[in-house]
Amino acid sequence: MKKAGFPLIAVLILSVVAAGCMGGSGDSGMKEETLVIFHAGSLSVPFQQLEEEFAKYAEENLGVKVTFQDEASGSVAAVRKVTDLGKKADIVAVADYTLIPQLMVPNYTDFYVIFATNEIVIAFTEHSKYADEMKAHPERWYEILARPGVTFGFSDPNQDPCGYRSVMVMKLADYYYNEPVFETLVEKNTNIYFNGTHVVAPKEIQIKNDKVVIRPKETDLTALVESGSLDYFFIYKSVAEQHNLSYITLPDEINLRDFKMADYYSKVSIHIGSTEKTITAKPIVYGVTVPKDAPNRELALEFLKYLLGENGKRVFQENHQDFIWPPVAFGSVPDEIKSLVKVEG
């Protein structure tokens, strides 16, 4: 019996060695998985850091070698990839959490978590026309943008929350300054208009001149400003900080940052042609979910745990974005994340 044991042990040892050789780098038995993430463009920088950290965490603690397949877009576009195009994602993270209950619940997901906030600023560089005046007198921002030769941009309201928020900021400015800011900056330069009760963004946005530039998502405009081909653009504060751009902050009554101003913001709403939905201005809150048909749901929930815990909070703070602590979850919240969130509704 003892003699028979030796060949068995030898075979086992040879099997382990062979597995090690095949696996390479000592990663024997390591599963390889891909996580598909559709996310808002403004989440690109913090998510890149999160993914790098989570990949190391997963390899060391979960025995999984993770590859990420990211698709950054406007948040409306991100959601519609799932709802209209039938594409599968493991994580959907958007800059306006209301898109999830409005467009994804109950058919595509049954829960969502709000986890971060932001505010709208106007960003520029030292090469932007009247940059020194903009810094010295930020209260003149709408006058400066209206001047001949000055160009400014915002993202497409049909695809991106930063776009419809930027438009609503300019309409809120009407009430705050008691000046026709929206008419001067938006209606004169595009086919976006105010119909007496709310702003209307037609399905096909048209630009009437070369004063305004509109792109699918807000981060598409960053390079234009950095290169000097665009003077100013409406952007999230976190993105301006991440790209080391100059920017001015706007009054709390119009910047969509202050939760105490929610009632004031709500006097403005916008009808989005792409979804035929009307969105009311409200404080900026980001949301995330795992779709029902996520190809890799178990690993997606592990990533969500990483995002919603102390590591996610730290990464967002390092990237100049305020994190909601604790994050707040709604719907049929998975057991895996319940200890990390405050469950509402």
- Residue 298 pLDDT > 90: yes
Position 41 scores a pLDDT of 95
Which residues are within 8 A (CB) of 209 and not within 5 positions of it... i.e. 6 or more apart? 189
Token pair, residue 224, equals 């234009």
* Average pLDDT value for the chain: 93
Using CA atoms, how far apart are residues 336 and 286, in angstroms rounded to an integer? 20
Provide the 3-class DSSP secondary structure of residue 2. helix
110 pLDDT more than 80: yes
pLDDT above 90 for 95: yes
- Tell me the average pLDDT across 29-38: 94
Q: What pLDDT does 218 receive?
A: 87
Q: Give dist(CA 51, CA 1) in Å, integer.
A: 52
Mean pLDDT across 264-290: 97
The C-alpha atoms of residue 19 and residue 90 are separated, in whole angstroms, by: 30
Q: What's the pLDDT score for residue 177?
A: 98
Structure tokens at 7: 């060949």
Rounded Cα–Cα distance for residues 33 and 321 (Å): 29
75/293 Cα distance (integer angstroms) = 19
The pTM of the full predicted model, rounded to 2 decimals, is: 0.90
Mean pLDDT, range 58-72, rounded to an integer: 97
Contacts of 294 (CB under 8 A, 6+ apart): 88, 89, 90, 91, 300
Other residues' Cβ atoms within 10 Å of the Cβ of residue 63:
11
For residue 19, name the pLDDT band (cuts at 50, 70, 90).
very low
- The helix (H) or strand (E) run that includes residue 263 is helix 262-265
Give, as one character, the DSSP assignment of residue 148.
T
pLDDT per position as a tens digit, 221-265: 999 999 999 999 999 999 999 999 999 999 999 999 999 999 999
Instruction: Give the 3-state DSSP-derived string for 230-255, with helices as H, strands as E and coil as C.
Output: CCEEEEEHHHHHHCCCEEEECCCCCC
Is the Cβ–Cβ distance between 244 and 223 less than 8 Å? no
Q: Please state, in angstroms and as integers, the Cα–Cα distance from residue 110 to each residue in 52, 281, 291, 338, following that order.
A: 28, 24, 8, 14
Query: Could you tell me what percent of the chain has a pLDDT over 70?
Result: 92
Report pLDDT digits (tens) over 136-181.
999 999 999 999 999 999 999 999 999 999 999 999 999 999 999 9
Do 341 and 113 form a contact (C-beta atoms < 8 A)? yes
Give the pLDDT confidence of 119-147 residue by residue, as tens digits: 999 999 999 999 999 999 999 999 999 99
Q: What percent of the chain has pLDDT over 90?
A: 90
